[in-house]
Structure 1
Amino acid sequence: MKIGRPCAVAILALAAFAPIAHAEDDARAILKSMSDYLTKQQTFSATFNTDIEVVTPDLQKIQFASSGQVAVSRPNKVHAARTGGFADVEMIFDGKQVTIHSKDAKSFAQIEAPGTIDELIVKLESDGHALPGADLLLSNVYDALNAGVVDAKHIGTGVIGGVECEHLAFRNADTDWQLWVRTGAEPIPCKYVITSKAVAAAPQYTLIINSWSGEVKDDFSFAPPSDSKRVDAKAMPHIDDIPEGASE
């Protein structure tokens, strides 16, 4: 039987991929190393880019891009900001309350939420606010990410923004996800991709860390701009990366 070029290339690719199926221990060890490093960082700040895909009713994939920055002071302070084509928002948590500020809509809401960053993330997600990538801010990243993993692979190395990284791939029941972790003494996450297998056409969420620092220049307080008004949390305008009705 004659094998066509595309088929032959695919077979060669599968053959090259086969050995990494035995790298599960390496993948979990690198993930644990990254988690341990992040947990030890009592303060850090980073800048990032995100891309989130939606699938239209006619199965066209559309990506929505945004950029932002985050500052963290463990155990109970975080300031995250994100600017995209459809929202310019920030969230400030001082350990007592969380403020959601829509800069473009000139409005903000404040919710009492005493506790830690971990407790805040759990509360927001239980209230229906999806926070992809927020698990990287938890006090034990390994437990959060490793929960439900049914397959783990160490693919090899890759380069993100000129930085050499270990490339890891994991599978859960409903998602596939990948991590690129910086090699060397500072194993920080450089890229994080989540693929939603339970959704038609498997849309992806991509987070790329552009810069990272152990220093934080933020007092985690919120001073309302003179032209912004306080509103009830339920009255906050649409603040997602994706415009309303984009996937309907």
Structure 2
Amino acid sequence: MITLGLVRRAFAPGIVLCAAILAGGAQAQGDGALQILKGMSAYIGGQPTIDATFDSDIEVVTNDLQKIQFASSGQVMLSRPDKLRATRTGGYADLELVFDGKKLTVLGKHVGAYAQADFSGSVEQLIDKMRSDFGVEAPGADLLLPRSFDDLMTGVYDAKHIGRGVIDGVECEHLAFRSPDTDWQIWIEVGANPVPRKFIITSKAVTGAPQYTLRIKNWKTNAQPPADAFVFKPAAEVKPVAFDSLGGIDEVPPGSLQGGKK
């Protein structure tokens, strides 16, 4: 039987080395981390169209401090300045969001209902409105916007270029950042297409420090979307409802606790 003491001794050299890197060399590369992040922001912001798929995992912490993870997958299609289509399918919700520049539609396929609101503006303005008016947060949405660097760096007091890692077979630059309430990491593809491949947000303000993890893949930039990509065509069986009546659209089932008590 392998005892805990043996495990500790076996891993101790790696732990010491890792601690030394994070405390010294990586911290000294803060400027490098900012330049890599700026490069990603400029590249993404300069793409007229984006088409990508994603997998996401969100953790909740129960009252007895057990971490439970909920997984979803989806697709995002963006055509600047004012077209967006996104899907997210998980175990508890099957959603589709369509924005054609004049109207926002959110379809809950699993509840057979959709809600619409008139809105004219850019995708950036739409994301801001969804947060302020509908309380809808999209943790990875900022990565797609031209101002992503400024948004991501809000409140950041520490930046590190950890080194390189491989995500889905793609070599990436690994960056880590700290702000008062969250720590977050991002892996950005090395080379001529500096797209984000993985994004992790750790909540330090919640007991148990739950994480949100986003993996983005199948990137297509500057590709022409289908003519009807941003047209909403409701099926006969789905019914229109008010936004405040469109329930059950979260990534986690009702009653799940997003953290325990401090």
SS in 2 for 1:123: helix
Which consecutive residues of structure 2, in runs of 5 or more, have no partner in the other structure?
Answer: 1-7
Alignment partner of 1:28 is 2:27: no
Please report how far the alpha carbon of residue 126 of structure 1 lies from its aligned counterpart in structure 2 after TM superposition: 1.1
The equivalent of 1:117 in structure 2 is: 123
Alignment partner of 1:136 is 2:156: no
CA contact (8 A) 2:42 2:146 kept: no
Could you tell me how far apart the structure 1 residues matched to 2:48 and 2:66 are?
Answer: 42
Alignment of 1:33-182 (within 5 A): 33-127=39-133, 128-182=135-189
Please report how far the alpha carbon of residue 138 of structure 1 lies from its aligned counterpart in structure 2 after TM superposition: 1.7
Please report how far the alpha carbon of residue 8 of structure 1 lies from its aligned counterpart in structure 2 after TM superposition: 5.0
Please report how far the alpha carbon of residue 150 of structure 1 lies from its aligned counterpart in structure 2 after TM superposition: 0.4
Please report how far the alpha carbon of residue 131 of structure 1 lies from its aligned counterpart in structure 2 after TM superposition: 1.4
Q: Which amino acid aligns with 1:135?
A: D
Deviates more, 1:9-18 or 1:148-157: 9-18
Deviates more, 1:188-197 or 1:4-13: 4-13
Could you tell me how far apart the structure 2 residues matched to 1:108 and 1:8 are?
Answer: 55
2:16 pairs, out of 1, 11, 20, with 11
Deviates more, 1:12-21 or 1:135-144: 12-21
Give the TM-score normalised by the residue count of structure 1: 0.95
SS in 2 for 1:108: strand
Supply the RMSD in Å over aligned alpha carbons.
1.3
- Percentage identity across paired residues of the two chains: 52
Alignment partner of 1:246 is 2:256: yes
Q: What is the aligned residue count?
A: 245
Which consecutive residues of structure 1, in runs of 5 or more, have no partner in the other structure?
Answer: none
Could you tell me how far apart the structure 2 residues matched to 1:51 and 1:179 are?
Answer: 15
CA contact (8 A) 2:85 2:229 kept: no
Could you tell me how far apart the structure 1 residues matched to 2:157 and 2:36 are?
Answer: 17
Could you tell me how far apart the structure 1 residues matched to 2:14 and 2:106 are?
Answer: 50
Q: 1:116-153 CA distances to partner (integer Å, 9 max, x unpaired)?
A: 11111111111321211111122211111112110000
Which consecutive aligned stretches of 4+ in structure 1 deviate over 6 angstroms post-superposition? none
Please report how far the alpha carbon of residue 10 of structure 1 lies from its aligned counterpart in structure 2 after TM superposition: 2.9
